[in-house]
Amino acid sequence: MKDAIDEIDFLAFTIAFAPPERVIQAVHSQLSRWWKEGLEDLTHVESPMPLHSPKEHNPRSKRVALFELNSSPPAVLIEANLNDGYASLSHMVSKELDRFDFVSIRSRPVGTSEWPIEEFRFLGRGQRDTIRHVWSALDTSGWCFGNEGEVQPFEEPETYGKKAIRDRLTRAQIVRYLGRLGVDLNKVARNENCRLLASLREVRRSNENLR
């Protein structure tokens, strides 16, 4: 029987280990600067499932959902409808809240896509750059693996030397990593131990309105 998280083909999200009100404020502030045509708050009219947002390379209208996680320490899941999980947003919010830890994840396992990838970034602790970055991915030149920065206590670095590059970092590992940081990703995938904080959509004028 599959775990709930394995029912989702593509994951791309960030978890901010910071007070929810600080995260909401930082996200609103950043999006208000970027989304020039406006920001629509849909929090009270829809109930998106965490981790289930469809991902696109360049959606016409960007969407961001924030979920408070029942974890220790307090944490907020930041999810968007972009293939990279809206990495630029996560980056800017982590800079603003640089006293707190952030983990960004992309996971598209073998068998679910032509281009599988497993990746995590760890930021925060008063540092303005990524503390730790580990990835395993298939691209046009074949499988590649990389790890940069200091190994963190929650990692399993013994797997990084496996002969098969695709086995050096897996979704199951990432789930365990987050578990050691206090986040049960399977419960989040079942919409348990979490609640919607905000659902935001970029306002875009139609072509007719632009004429």
Task: Between 64 and 204, name the one with better pLDDT.
Answer: 64
Compute and round to an integer the Cα radius of gyration of the chain.
Answer: 17
Is the pLDDT score of 174 beyond 90?
Answer: yes
Return the top range by mean pLDDT from 89-98, 125-134, 178-187.
Answer: 178-187
Q: What is the pLDDT of residue 204?
A: 85
Positive or negative: CA dihedral 31, 84, 45, 77: negative
* Percentage with pLDDT > 90 across the chain: 79
pLDDT-derived band at 8 (thresholds 50, 70, 90) equals very high
Is the pLDDT score of 128 beyond 90?
Answer: no
**What does the DSSP assignment read for 112-163?**
S-SS-EEEEEEEETTEEEEEEEEEEEEETTEEEEEEEEPPPTT--GGGGG-S
Three-class secondary structure of residue 111 per DSSP:
coil
Q: Note the pLDDT tens digit of each residue in 15-58.
A: 999 999 999 999 999 999 999 999 999 999 988 999 988 899 88
Q: What is the pLDDT of residue 208?
A: 41
Q: What is the pLDDT of residue 126?
A: 66
* Percentage with pLDDT > 70 across the chain: 95
Q: 73-77, 154-158, 167-171, 204-208: lowest mean pLDDT where?
A: 204-208
The residue ranges of every structural domain in the chain are: 4-204
Is the pLDDT score of 210 beyond 50?
Answer: no
List the helix and strand counts (H, then E) for the chain: 5, 9
Instruction: Count Cβ atoms within 10 A of the Cβ of residue 44 and give its class: 0-12 exposed, 13-18 middle, 19 or more buried.
Output: exposed
Residue 20 DSSP class:
H
Q: What is the pLDDT of residue 211?
A: 33
Q: Note the pLDDT tens digit of each residue in 50-109.
A: 998 889 988 999 999 999 999 888 999 999 999 999 999 999 999 899 889 999 999 999
Mean pLDDT of the 129-145 span: 93
Mean pLDDT of the 174-200 span: 95
Three-class secondary structure of residue 206 per DSSP:
coil
Residue 210: phi and psi, rounded to 5, are: -80, -15
Angle formed by the axes of helices 20-34 and 87-96, to 10°? 120
Q: What is the pLDDT of residue 207?
A: 46
